[in-house]
Amino acid sequence: DAAINRIAAGEVVERPASAVKELVENALDAGATRVEIAYADGGKTLIRVTDDGCGIVPDDLHLALSRHATSKIDGSDLLDIHTFGFRGEALPSLGSVGRLTITSRVDGFDAATIRVAGGETSVVKPAALSAGTVVELRDLFYATPARLKFMRSDRAEAQAITDVIKRLAMAEPHVGFTLRDVSGGGEGRVTFRADPETGDMFDALGGRLGSILGRDFSDNAIRIDAERDGLRLTGFAALPTYSRGAAVAQFLFVNGRPVKDKLLTGALRAAYFDFLSRDRHPAAALFVSCDPHLVDVNVHPAKSEVRFREPGVARGLIVSGLRHALASAGH
Ligand code: ADP
Ligand code: MG
């Protein structure tokens, strides 16, 4: 089983940022309103995610670490997914590639902690924690020197972590996020912070985009809200006159999940084809939502690609939705 976990881990955890993504998604699935992420040395020596979500009862801590144990779907309909997680693979995988400690408390229960390292799981012990969950991953890939070698500089890994957090922060504007570099020990240095946004979806997203991309983006972006054949497109897109230079600021989400998808980025570029030169990227944060049966998010364990049942409809919606909004704004 330890070997199987290690093989699965290769699929789920490529680098510190993929571990951060899994842990923060778990926090969000647990209904957290605030998530705090700390890392040291680009996440190579330490990643710690603290949330105020529902927690895990002591009796379930072992289960959380077993493969394919998920509390999120009953297995009857793999396509009907409303949470980030559904495979029950992340925690066992992380426990096979690093030293993992989970401490958690559910209202009405005592706080408890469990550790796993090198495939060996400890007994559940009492712990001190007032609410929520703290997951700590130390020494990622310590037992796999070949994988360690493939990690990039601390700076590059920290940048990848920040990118993951920003995308998830856009996906969940009502949740507060704090990212800290604790490489030097102690409280460390806050490298990214987004306070919980209030209001309806557009208000909250607008506020969050302002705090992540800057007022300059918000002031130059238009609201997108379009629909076609059961697919809805919402979000904000920059006016063609807005330029971030070479910096790419494209953030795409499908059913609330950050994705990096060629079909969608291609459609975004096509919508701006008449306005932008080839080396300029339109800046946008766009959310496609639809019945979960119209899109497969199950393509890859890292889950950043998607497959639409009708790709032409998704592309058409983006191109026409954006062109229409740009035309209404006088472009
Ligand atoms: P998945 O997210 O696909 O269910 P994971 O391996 O990521 O699988 O997590 C396993 C289980 O552990 C989850 O289904 C959930 O019940 C529990 N869990 C993990 N992280 C948290 C958390 N931060 N708060 C509450 N429960 C959690
Ligand atoms: Mg998960």
Q: Which of 21, 51, 282, 35 is nearest to 161 (CA)?
A: 21
User: Which residue, 94, 133, 98, is CA-closest to 113?
Assistant: 133
Distance CA 77, CA 114 (A): 31
State mean pLDDT over 50-77: 84
Whether 91 and 102 have beta carbons less than 8 Å apart is answered as: yes
- For residue 67, the model assigns a pLDDT of 77
Of 103-107, 139-143, 240-244, minimum mean pLDDT range: 240-244
Domains of the chain: 2-194 (3.30.565.10), 201-328 (3.30.230.10)
Q: How far is the CA of 85 from the centre of ligand 2 (A)?
A: 4
Here the tokens at position 146 are 């070949």
Q: How far apart are CA 147 and CA 97, in angstroms?
A: 10
- Average pLDDT, integer, range 26-33: 97
311-320 pLDDT per residue, tens = 999 999 999 9
Question: Ligand 2 being an ion, which residues bring their Cβ within 5 A of it?
Answer: 26, 85, 90
d(CA 258, CA 255): 9
Q: Quote the mean pLDDT of the chain.
A: 90
Which residues line the pocket of ligand 1, CB cutoff 6 A?
A: 22, 26-27, 29-30, 51, 53-56, 64, 70-72, 85-91, 133
Kindly give the number of the ligand 1 atom that is closest to the alpha carbon of 71: 14
pLDDT for residue 297: 75
Task: Assess whether pLDDT exceeds 60 at residue 7.
Answer: no
> Does pLDDT of 79 surpass 60?
no
Give the model's pLDDT for residue 34: 98
